[in-house]
Every structure is written in structure tokens, then in C-alpha cells.
Structure 1
Amino acid sequence: MAGSTFGTILRASAWGESHGKGIGVVVDGCPAGLPLDEADIQAYLNRRKPGQSKFTTARQEGDVVEILSGVFEGRTTGTPIALEVRNTDQRSHDYGNIMDVYRPGHADYTFDGKYGFRDYRGGGRSSGRETTARVAAGAIACKFLRTLGITVRAYTRSVGSIEIDYGSFRMEEMWNNRLYMPDAKAARKAEAYLEEMMARKDSCGGVVECVIHGMPVGVGEPVFDKLDACLAKAMLSIGAVKGFEIGDGFEASRSLGSVNNDGFRMSGETEDKGLLFTDRIVKSSNHSGGTLGGISDGSDIVMRAAFKPTPSIAQGQHTVTRNGQETDIEIKGRHDPIIVPRAVVVVEAMAALTAADLLLQSMTSRLDRIQEFFGR
């Protein structure tokens, strides 16, 4: 299978199936000397793992990560970092009734059309469980970025039609509710709405917003490997993501040049704890979402990923079998009524992997900086 490796210099090669023995990833290209242990990665996996609330699947996976290589005495060695998470709570018998049935909204039909067979136990590589590997790799990228003063933070912007109010936005609030919404009032409304969806044996979608703070000017390429294009690929590679925006996104199409253009100004010298910071160029607004011409402009990179409703619902649905026989199906098993809360950290991970990889690529963009690095 092609397409299981992401990145150019910092590369993450993922493997494993939903109901196989485990999920894993090999991260190559990480610089040597980065402090790293399993607790660093586990903190991210704990945000993604199932069974956290009634709004997530009841599958009880500890998602305990083990570092198999690439770390010695608490630091990366510069060699491939192999990570493994064992599956411990598979119930493959829950999927016996759909062995030859194509589930609406799933990849069953297309996977079968491509490979001539499919792993019907939860979708195999098409399952959302494969995001375990993305999060594990993304945790390493996040720690690398933090050494450069760059942070990546994602949160739930909306559940169905219920959106956060930026006037009530408090980032720390996302840790106080089960939906990772930085608005307490919106979270309460969203939880009530999800209760209604569950009672109706239905599901809903939502939007995850992500902000990369501290990215320097000059990261990304001006043509095919634009920073925003790479982020779009990263987000749209996540199962169930059906839309991507950066900055004002689609709203920009309804704006005017006089409004949408971000003006430039000098920041002015500021003193903080006795330190004087040099006057620098900054933007007076951020409609572009932190990129210009596909290259980072030094302001916050703001993006959004839209997730469709969870396709596995308990309502009866009409479909066909592999042999072309029309039938009805009721999907059994343990499924999320909404994907978004567990996807927040997945978005964060993919944004971090993209940013870290492009940062490393940018190190060779200018001769003067190469000469400076090698002392020439």
C-alpha cells in the first residue's frame, strides 16, 4: 500500500489495522538530542483514546505506547524512532453481519474496488483507529517545535450548528468539558444536542480550529509545496475531514481587497522584564491566516478542518452487498456519535508534523544561513 508515509525530512511511516495486533509508526528525520520519553507521547494519546465519555466509543483501549528504538538515555539519537501501541479490546464479531455488505458513508466499497478485498473488522486501515499513529508521531513533532518557541493548539470550534462565541473564548476552558470547546456555554448547548442525536440513533459533525503560534517568517515554498497547501493535504488526509480553510477561508471570497488585505506596520520597541525587543515588521490584521504566497508571514497560522457526521449509526440504512443484492443494514458495535472531540488532537498532530517538516526543509533556503551554520 502506497501513501502510508507523510513528510519529506521529518517522515512518519504508519502501519497497523483497527482489529490487528497493534498500531504503530516509525518517525525518521528527527534531530538527535531531543529529550523524549513515553510519557511525552502518552499525554497526546490519552486525548485521542476511546472510552473517555459517553460521546465517544465505549471501546476500552489503554493506547499505551512503547518506544522501540531511536531513543537512548532519554534523548533522540537521530535514528528512526519506532513506536507501537497494542490493540487490546477488539470485538471483531461485532462486524460479522457486514462481511459482504457495504456500509453507507464508509470506505468499504472503494477499498474493495481498489484492492479486491477489504478488512471488514472495523475498516482495517480505513478505520479512525489509524490516527493513533498520527498522534504518536505528532507528539514528537510538537516537542521539537516547542524547543523553537512554536506551539500548536487545536480545539472544537463547532458541533453541528453550535459554534463557540469568540467573545467568551477561554482557551483553558477546553480542558473543563468533554468536547474540548473553549466556551463553556457553547459546550453545554453542544452536549445537549449530542444527547438528542444519541436518542435518535444518529450522529453529527463539526469543525476543529487549529492555531500555530510562533512560526517564523519564511517557512513554506512558493509553488506546489506552499505552507497552506501542505496543511490542507495534512488535514484532508484525516478520515472524515471534508473541508479545509485557512485564515478567512471561504469568507474571503465575499470580501473586498480593501478589507481582506492585511496591512503592515512596525511593532515598536517593547520592554518585557528588562529585555528590549527590536522593532520588527508585523501585520495589522490576519485575514490571510498566517501565510502569504504559500510562505509563513510570522503571524499566527489559523486553520479549520470540517468533519462529517460519524457514518456508523444505529439507524436502519439501505445499501447493497458485494454481490449486488439490495438490503438494509443496522450497524452494531461501539461507535462515536461525533468524531470531533477525539479528532482535536489528531488535527494538532498533523499540523505539527507539517510545520516541523517544512521548518527543516527551510534550513537550506539561503546560502548565507548555510555558510553561517558551517562557519564559513
Structure 2
Amino acid sequence: MSGSIFGKVFQISTWGESHGKALGVVIDGCPAGISLCEEDIQKDLDKRKPGNSPFSTPRKEDDRVEILSGVFEGKTTGTPISLIVHNTNQRSSDYTEISRLYRPGHADYTYDQKYGFRDYRGGGRSSGRETTARVAAGAVAKKILSELGVSILTYTLSIGPVQIDKTKFDADQIYKNFLAMPDADAAQKAAEFLMKQKESEDSSGGIVECVVTGLPAGVGEPVFEKLDAMLGKAIFSIGAVKGVEFGSGFKASSMSGSENNDFYRFDEKGELTKLTNNSGGILGGISDGFPIILRAAFKPTPSIHKTQKTVNKQGENIDIQVEGRHDPVIVPRAVIVVESMVALTLVDYLFQRVFSRMDLIKKALS
């Protein structure tokens, strides 16, 4: 299976399945001398792991990470970093019936058509559990970004019909409620909505918003590998994402040029400012030094207990109720996944930027 490697200079390769012995990632291109321990990575894995709330799958996994290589005496060595997370709570028997049919909204049918075979235990490689490895790698990327003064704030913008009120924005609330919402009132309303969805054996989708600050202007590649294009690729690689937008996003299509253009001004200190940020911090595929704002739309969890229509491998039309342990909404657990993919992309592009100008190369080698 190709397609499991991401990045050019800072590169990761993930491996493992939902119900295999373990999942993991190999990180290549990480500079030597960065302080790194397992707890640095564990903090992010704990935000993603299942069984933490009434709105996540009851599957219990500690998701304890182990560093196998690339770190010595608390510092990265510059050699490949290998991370592993063991699966400890598989119940593969829950999926026996799935081997003979195709679940609506899942990759069962497409995997069969591509490979002629599939790991039906929880979806195998197509399972959301694969993102464990991404989050582990993203924690390393965020360590690098923190040393470069780049910060990422990611949160749940909406769940179903409930959206946060930006006038009540409180970043401290993000991980104080089960839904990763920076608005306590919206989190309560969303929780009530989700309980109704659970009672009706259904699920919900939502939107994750990510804001990057501190990224300098000039990061990104023109034409085919624009920064927004590669961030879009990174976010779309998350299984349940169905839409990505930057800045004003789709709203720009209904705006006039005078409304959508970001007007430049110099402030009293002579520093460049923008009166708006409809571009979302990226112009011509290159960062402009202002906050990058992106949003990812997640579809409802496809595994629901409500009766659904599908077909089996014998060519019969059938009705099914999906058994097993599933999230009624994946958005809260996906917040850290979005943040991780953004971090991985930014580190790779910051490293590439060094080679884009002779003065930066000379500075790096001086």
C-alpha cells in the first residue's frame, strides 16, 4: 500500500491497523538537539484517545507511546525517530459479520475494489485509529514549532446545528469540556443535541477551526505545492473530512472584491498590518505573516446502530445494524488530529524555506 508517507524534508511514515498489534510512525528529518520525551507526546495522545467522554467510543485504550529510536538522554539525535503505540483492547469478533457486507459511509467497498481484500476489523488501515500515529508525530512537530515561535490553536467550531459564539470565546474552555469547544454555553447545547442523537441511534458531524500565529511571511511553494494546497491535502487525508476552507472560504464566492480584499496599512510603529484577514494568512500559496485560519468539515460518524440499507458480497440487498463501539461524533477527538497535520505541514515547509534563498542558506550555515 502506497500513500502512507507525508512530507519532503520533515517526513513521516505511519503504519499499523485498528485491530493489529500496534500502530506507529517513523519520523525522518528531525533536527538533533530538541528536548523530547514520551510525556511530550503523551499529552497530545491523551486528547485523541477513546473512552474519555460520553461522546466517544467506549473502547478503552491507554495509547501509551514508546520511543524506540532517535532520542538519547532526552534529546533528538538527528536520526529517524520511531514511535509505537500498542493496541490493548481489540474486540475483533464485533466485526465478523462485516466481512460479508459493505457498511454505508465506510471504505469497505472501495478497499475491496482496490485490493481484492480488506482488513474488516474496525476498518483496518481506513480506521480513524490510524490517526494515533499522526498525533504522535504531530507532537514532535509542535515541539519544533514552539522553538520557532509558531503557535497553533485548534478547537471545535460547531457540532451539528450548534456553533460557538466568538464573543464568548475562552481558550481555557477547550479541554475543560468533552467537546473541545471554547464556549461553555455552546458546549452545553451541543451536548444536549448529541444526547438526542444517541437516543435516536444516530450521529453528528461538525467543524474544526485552526488558527496559526507566529508563522513568518514567505513560507510556501508557488503553483502546485502552495501552502494552502498542502495544508488542504494534509487535512483531507483525515478520513472523515469532507471540506476545507481558508479565511473567508466559501463565503468569498458571494462577496465583492472590495469586501474580500484585505487592505494593507502601516501602523504607528511602521509595521505592516491588514484591516481584515479574508485570505486566511495565505496569498499566492505563500504565508503573508498574519494568522492562518482554516476550517475542516467532518461528516457524521458512519457507524450507527440505526437500521441502514446496504448489500452483501452475495449480491443481496440487506438491512443492517452496525454493532461494536463507536463515537456518536468524532469532531472533539479530531481537533488534535487537525492540529497535528497542520504542525507537520508547517515544519516541513519552514525547513524547505531555508533553501529558497541564498541569504537564508548562508545564515543557516554560518
**TM-score, scaled to structure 1:** 0.96
Distance 2:215 2:267 in 1: 17
Name the aligned partner's letter for residue 340 of structure 1.
Answer: V
Aligned twin of 1:291: 282
Aligned twin of 2:315: 324
Indicate whether 1:303 and 2:294 are aligned: yes
Distance 1:345 1:268 in 2: 38
Indicate whether 1:100 and 2:100 are aligned: yes
> Contact 2:103 / 2:310 at 8 angstroms: preserved in 1?
yes
Q: How does 1:27-66 map to 2 (within 5 A)?
A: 27-66=27-66
**Structure 1 residue 99 displacement after superposition:** 1.4
Name the aligned partner's letter for residue 235 of structure 1.
Answer: I
Name the aligned partner's letter for residue 307 of structure 2.
Answer: G
Deviation digits for residues 22-65 of structure 1 (CA, Å, limit 9, x no counterpart): 00000110111110000000000000000001100000000000
Aligned twin of 1:275: none
**Structure 1 residue 222 displacement after superposition:** 1.4
Aligned twin of 1:212: 212
**Structure 1 residue 372 displacement after superposition:** 3.0
**Structure 1 residue 280 displacement after superposition:** 2.4
Aligned twin of 1:233: 233
Distance 1:13 1:373 in 2: 27
Aligned to 1:13, the other structure's residue is in SS state strand
Distance 2:100 2:267 in 1: 63
Name the aligned partner's letter for residue 209 of structure 1.
Answer: E
> Contact 2:63 / 2:86 at 8 angstroms: preserved in 1?
yes
Aligned to 2:104, the other structure's residue is in SS state coil
Deviation digits for residues 100-121 of structure 1 (CA, Å, limit 9, x no counterpart): 1100000000000000011111
**Structure 1 residue 291 displacement after superposition:** 0.5
> Contact 2:354 / 2:364 at 8 angstroms: preserved in 1?
no
Indicate whether 1:118 and 2:118 are aligned: yes
Deviation digits for residues 233-274 of structure 1 (CA, Å, limit 9, x no counterpart): 0010001100000000000111111111111122333xxxxx
**Structure 1 residue 318 displacement after superposition:** 1.0
Deviation digits for residues 51-88 of structure 1 (CA, Å, limit 9, x no counterpart): 00110000000000000000011010111000000000
Aligned twin of 2:342: 351
Deviation digits for residues 296-319 of structure 1 (CA, Å, limit 9, x no counterpart): 000000000000000000011111
Aligned twin of 2:254: 254
Name the aligned partner's letter for residue 255 of structure 1.
Answer: M
Name the aligned partner's letter for residue 73 of structure 1.
Answer: E
Aligned twin of 1:272: none
Aligned twin of 2:273: 282
Aligned to 1:149, the other structure's residue is in SS state coil
Distance 2:333 2:310 in 1: 28
Q: Is there any run of 5+ residues in structure 2 with no aligned partner, and where?
A: none
> Contact 1:64 / 1:85 at 8 angstroms: preserved in 2?
yes
Give the 4+ runs in structure 1 shifted more than 2 A.
371-375
Distance 1:98 1:302 in 2: 39
Distance 1:174 1:310 in 2: 21
Distance 2:353 2:53 in 1: 41
Distance 1:60 1:5 in 2: 28
Aligned to 2:224, the other structure's residue is in SS state coil
Aligned to 1:224, the other structure's residue is in SS state helix
Aligned to 2:97, the other structure's residue is in SS state helix
Aligned to 2:223, the other structure's residue is in SS state coil
Distance 1:369 1:347 in 2: 30
**Structure 1 residue 205 displacement after superposition:** 0.2
Distance 1:267 1:155 in 2: 31
Indicate whether 1:87 and 2:87 are aligned: yes
Name the aligned partner's letter for residue 287 of structure 1.
Answer: N
Distance 1:331 1:374 in 2: 58
Distance 2:359 2:55 in 1: 53
Deviation digits for residues 314-357 of structure 1 (CA, Å, limit 9, x no counterpart): 01111111231211111111000001010000000000001110
Indicate whether 1:155 and 2:155 are aligned: yes
> Contact 2:212 / 2:291 at 8 angstroms: preserved in 1?
yes
> Contact 1:282 / 1:298 at 8 angstroms: preserved in 2?
no
Distance 1:158 1:45 in 2: 22
Distance 2:13 2:361 in 1: 29
Identity %, equivalent residues = 60
> Contact 1:19 / 1:121 at 8 angstroms: preserved in 2?
yes
**Structure 1 residue 189 displacement after superposition:** 0.4
Indicate whether 1:340 and 2:331 are aligned: yes
Aligned length: 366
**Structure 1 residue 173 displacement after superposition:** 1.3
Aligned twin of 1:314: 305
